[in-house]
Amino acid sequence: MEYKRMLCWVRPHEKKELKEAVNGQFPLEFARNFDDFKNKINKDDYLIMSMTKISIGWNKMYRLIENHNNLQFHLFDKKFGKYTVKELLFLNMRKNIINKKYYADELVDEFNVHS
């Protein structure tokens, strides 16, 4: 898959980390909220979601991920928080969720490999 931009729905401090790691190498866009993220998704986006943001609205996220089963979602969270077994099983069982704890520089490296 070739990516054209990184679309992110993350917390403010994660936004800062990503901006610093990307350092203008490629287009980087941040969603204001869930609906903004959902509406901006394109097939050639490298999608990043903060686990904290996901946990705010699991049901909406389930539907979004299921509706975009041909796209990959990357989780930005260095330390997985307190999530229920059901939530973690959902994440582990979806083939389009890359279930890895990413750091900002790892996300940039992976984007560059696929661009």
pLDDT digits (tens, 9 = 90+) for 7-29: 999 999 899 999 999 999 999 99
Which tens digit of pLDDT belongs to each residue from 24-61?
Answer: 999 999 999 999 999 999 999 999 988 778 777 778 88
Residue 29 near residue 8 (C-beta atoms within 8 A):
yes
67's tokens: 């509706």
Q: Say what percent of the chain tops pLDDT 70.
A: 84
Q: What stretches of 13-92 adopt beta strand conformation (E)?
A: 28-30, 45-50, 73-76
What's the whole-number mean pLDDT along residues 60-66? 86
pLDDT at 105 over 60: yes
Identify the CATH number of the domain defined by range 5-113.
3.40.50.2300
pLDDT at 80: 56
pTM confidence score: 0.85
Q: Where are the domains of the chain?
A: 5-113
pLDDT at 82: 64
Rounded CA separation 77/96 (Å):
17
Residue 55 near residue 87 (C-beta atoms within 8 A):
yes
Residues in Cβ contact with 28 at an 8 Å cutoff, skipping those fewer than 6 apart? 5, 6, 8, 18, 19, 22
pLDDT at 85 over 60: yes
Q: What is the CA 113 to chain-centroid distance, rounded? A: 17
